[in-house]
């Protein structure tokens, strides 16, 4: 497919019309945002490549990468990519975010973009997702938390106020539907 920002991870920007293997053999999960990808290896290291205009690759710069580059740290266990931001959970149940933060979707109580992972407060996160400018996560007690864009009430908080830090969505038995 299209590879204008190196999102196919082949160390080039050539377009491919048939499947190609990503270098390496120990990948266990891959997610994609808009023109960038994150991949988790079986050794709990996290890698990214592709477009990086908002710092969504998590490697402390805004340089596009056409081959996988390791995001600092180890012990990553879950990943999710939005359009140009990312969330990841470590094995100690801490939640981390980086990339575009135009509406507070990184959960840092501000709207500053981040080009390296920053921790979202708390240590009991088990699942997280981000899409466009909205982020949500479930804690180990099955409570659901939301933050970011809320112009149409998509955070489920009975209002239309944007949030730049996690706010609990009413209810306590949110089902953790991921394996």
The separation between CA 26 and the C-alpha centre of its own chain, rounded to angstroms, equals 20
CB 45 within 8 Å of CB 76:
yes
Alpha helices in 1-144 (DSSP H): none
And the tokens for 163?
Answer: 């949030």
The neighbouring-strand residues paired with 85 are: 99
**What region does 42 belong to: left with phi over 0, alpha with psi -120 to 50, or beta?**
alpha
**pTM score of the predicted model:** 0.88
- Torsion angle in degrees (nearest 10) through CA of 94, 98, 101, 105: -30
Give the model's pLDDT for residue 27.
87
CB 95 within 8 Å of CB 121:
no
Task: Among 4-18, 42-56, 97-111, name the one with the lowest average pLDDT.
Answer: 4-18
What is the CB neighbour count within 10 angstroms for residue 54?
21
Alpha helices in 62-177 (DSSP H): none
Question: Mind listing the pLDDT tens digit for each residue in 89-105?
Answer: 999 999 999 999 999 99
Residue identified by tokens 């949500």 is 136
The separation between CA 118 and the C-alpha centre of its own chain, rounded to angstroms, equals 11
Give the model's pLDDT for residue 179.
43
Q: Work out the angle at residue 20's Cα, subtended by the Cα atoms of residues 15 and 24, and round it to the nearest 5 degrees.
A: 125
Question: Mind listing the pLDDT tens digit for each residue in 115-152?
Answer: 999 999 988 999 999 988 999 999 998 899 999 999 99
Rounded average pLDDT over 51-79: 94
């Amino acid at each position: 497919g299209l590879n204008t920002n190196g999102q196919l991870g082949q160390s080039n920007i050539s377009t491919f019309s048939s499947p190609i293997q990503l270098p390496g053999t120990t990948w266990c999960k891959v997610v994609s945002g808009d023109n960038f990808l994150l991949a988790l290896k079986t050794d709990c290291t996290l890698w990214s490549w592709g477009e990086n205009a908002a710092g969504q690759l998590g490697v402390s710069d805004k340089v596009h990468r056409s081959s996988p580059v390791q995001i600092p740290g180890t012990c990553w266990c879950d990943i999710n990519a939005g359009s140009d931001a990312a969330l990841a959970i470590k094995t100690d149940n801490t939640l981390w975010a980086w990339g575009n933060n135009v509406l507070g979707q990184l959960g840092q109580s501000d709207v500053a973009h981040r080009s390296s992972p920053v921790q979202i407060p708390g240590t009991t996160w088990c699942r997280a997702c981000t899409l466009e400018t909205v982020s949500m996560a479930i804690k180990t007690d099955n409570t659901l938390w939301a933050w970011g864009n809320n112009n149409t009430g998509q955070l489920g908080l009975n209002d239309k106020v944007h949030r730049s830090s996690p706010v609990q969505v009413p209810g306590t038995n949110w089902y953790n539907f991921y394996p």
